[in-house]
Structure 1
Amino acid sequence: MFWEALGSAVLGLVLALAAVRWLPSRLPDRVLVLGTGTAAALLGGVITRIVLGTGHSLVTLSVAAAVSAAILSLLLGNVRPPVTFRPEVAPRPRVP
C-alpha cells in the first residue's frame, strides 16, 4: 500500500511538472499546479486501491495518472491567454 501511494504521488508530481514546463502561460501558480497534480494522483490511487484491492499495481498507477491528468486539465481553463488589441476598423458604408 505504501509503495503504491508513493508511486502515485510521484507520478502525479511528474505529470504536474510536465504540465508546468509545457504550458506555463496557461496554468495558474506553479505551487498550486504541483500540489494539485500530486494530491489528485494520490487520491486516485488510494480510491482505486480501495475498490480493486491488492495485486493491481499497474491498474492503480494508471488510474492515478488519469485522475491527475484530468484534474490538471481543469486548471487550464482558469487562466485566459493575454488579449491582443487590434485597432478598430470603421465599418464599410452601405451602398444602396
Structure 2
Amino acid sequence: MLLEALGSAVLGLALAWIAAQRLPHRLPARALVLSTGVAGALFGAFVTHSALGAVGLLVILLGALVVAAASLSLLLRPAERFRRRSATA
C-alpha cells in the first residue's frame, strides 16, 4: 500500500510537471498545478484501491493517472484565440 501511494504521488507530480511545462499560458500558478496533480493521483489511487481491492500495482497507478489527469483538466483556462468578446466591449 505504501508503494501504491508513493508511486501514485510521483506519477501525479510528473504529470503535473509535464502539463505545467507544455501549457503554462493556460494554467494557474505552478504550485497549484503541482499540488493538484499529486492530490488527484493520491485520491485516484485511493478510489481505485477501494473499488477494486488489491488487484495490482499497475491497475492502481492507472486509476491514479486517470483521476490526476481529470483533476488537472479542471484547471485549464480557455485559449485566448477562442475567447469571444461581447458586443458592448
Q: Same fold, TM exceeding 0.5?
A: yes
| TM bucket, shorter chain | 0.7 to 0.9
Give the residue type in structure 1 aligned to 2:33: V
Length-normalised TM-score, structure 2: 0.84
Deviation at 1:55, TM superposition (A): 3.3
Structure number, greater radius of gyration: 1
Deviation at 1:54, TM superposition (A): 1.4
Q: Residues of 2 paired with 1:53 and 1:41: CA distance? A: 17
Which position in structure 1 is the counterpart of 2:9? 9
Which position in structure 2 is the counterpart of 1:46? 46
Which position in structure 1 is the counterpart of 2:32? 32
Task: State, as a whole percentage, how many aligned pairs show the same letter.
Answer: 54
Confirm or deny: 8 A CA contact 1:25 1:81 kept in the other structure: no
Q: Residues of 1 paired with 2:30 and 2:80: CA distance? A: 16
RMSD of aligned alpha carbons: 1.5
Give the residue type in structure 2 aligned to 1:73: S
**Count of aligned pairs between the two proteins:** 81
Deviation at 1:80, TM superposition (A): 5.7
Q: Residues of 2 paired with 1:66 and 1:55: CA distance? A: 17
Length-normalised TM-score, structure 1: 0.78
Which position in structure 1 is the counterpart of 2:72? 72
Q: Which runs of 5+ in 2 are unaligned?
A: 82-89
| Secondary structure at 2:80 match in 1 | coil
